[in-house]
Amino acid sequence: MQQGKVVKAAGGFFTVRDEHGEEYVCRARGMLKRGSKSLIVGDNVLFEPPQKGPSCPDGEGIIEKMLPRSNLLQRPRVANVDQLAVIMSLRSPDCDWQLISRMLVLAEKEGLFAFICLNKTDLTAKNELSKIDDLLDNYPYKVIYTSALNGTGLDKLEECLKGQCTVLAGPSGVGKSSLLNALQPGLALQTGTVSDKIKRGRHTTRQAELLTLQAGGSVVDTPGFTRLDFSGLDGDSLADYFPEFEPLRGQCGFRDCRHISEHKCAVQEEIGISLNPMRYEHYKSFIGEFEKQGVY
């Protein structure tokens, strides 16, 4: 058997790339198609290549075993990545700051490094960018500005991707595939437009796919989404996934402080000083969701 990585999954077939870069179309043993063992992009596997060789279109390999995962994101559903790049557009569609925080919470839960790419600066006036800079004061994650149209920030994005396996996540229409095409035109990924009626992007990426970058590293291009829940989390652990709270741990007046309305709360005292106010509002909103669900 050989070791490889699932780089694409569609219609019960899995494209597996071996250690030498050769790709094989494979089927999986029955036990690897169900429940928590269901194969996804990013999984490392042991497989038997097609007996007729990779050049034969009728030859199918067999995936025999899935190796242990180092991490797992539920949405986008991918495994064994190094980092998360949250891709958002500043215009068309407008930036969803709370969805960004949701994705960052899930990245923290899986121990993934994360950064934010704000795309379509070509649609944004300079005074608007200045306001966004103010909004992001004391923001705890790296933020880069890009434009797939005019090339702004592509060098910075490429540097962030180099040498890493990165999952690109964000709503439809924000320019994930367009950015990849701008970085590496040979990928020729399909791109779409934003609906004038609902102001959302139309899906062009239909399933997750792991792509190799010529500059080094790899990316998982994923279908867009606009909703994301916190399945598997509870309010008690939420503060652990806001890294900006960590320097204040143990400094609140109450050991079980929720950082909402308690007196002598070190977190509340730092809002607008060392803590970003928008991020804190997202934290409060998420706590409210947990309370409604009865998981706090």
CATH value at residue 79: 3.40.50.300
Domain boundary among 68, 97, 114: 68
Q: How high does pLDDT run on average in the chain?
A: 89
Reference 242, options 269, 211, 267, 272; nearest CA is 267
Are residues 103 and 12 located together in one domain of the fold?
no
197 vs 296, more confident: 296
What type of residue sits at position 55?
S
Residue 160 belongs to a domain: yes
Question: How many independent structural domains does the chain possess?
Answer: 3
Q: How confident is the model at residue 231 (pLDDT cuts 50, 70, 90)?
A: confident
Does 227 fall in a domain?
no
Is 227 within 8 Å of 96 (Cβ atoms)?
Answer: no
Q: Are residues 94 and 196 in the same domain?
A: yes
* pLDDT tops 70 at residue 190: no
- Show which of 19, 49, 68 is a domain's final residue: 68
Residues 64 and 90 in one domain: no
| Chain segment 54-104, per-residue pLDDT in tens | 555 567 899 999 999 999 998 788 999 999 999 999 999 999 999 999 999
Q: Do residue 205 and residue 80 come from a single domain?
A: yes
Task: Establish if 23 belongs to a structural domain.
Answer: yes
Mean of the pLDDT values across residues 115-140? 96
User: Could you tell me if residue 210 is inside a domain?
Assistant: yes
Tell me: do 20 and 88 sit in the same domain: no
8 Å CB contact between 174 and 119: yes
228 within domain boundaries: no
Instruction: Give the confidence band of 219 by pLDDT, cuts at 50, 70, 90.
Output: very high
Domain end residue (candidates: 10, 43, 68): 68
- Are residues 59 and 77 located together in one domain of the fold? no
Q: Is the pTM of this model over 0.75?
A: yes
260 pLDDT band, cuts 50/70/90, is: very high
- The reply to whether 47 and 88 lie within a common domain is no
Least confident piece of the model among 122-126, 157-161, 190-194: 190-194
Domain of residue 97 covers: 73-221
Query: Per residue in 104-123, is it b (16+ CB within 10 Å) or e — as a string?
Result: bbbbbbbebbbbbbbbbbee
Among 31-35, 42-46, 72-76, 196-200, top mean pLDDT goes to: 42-46
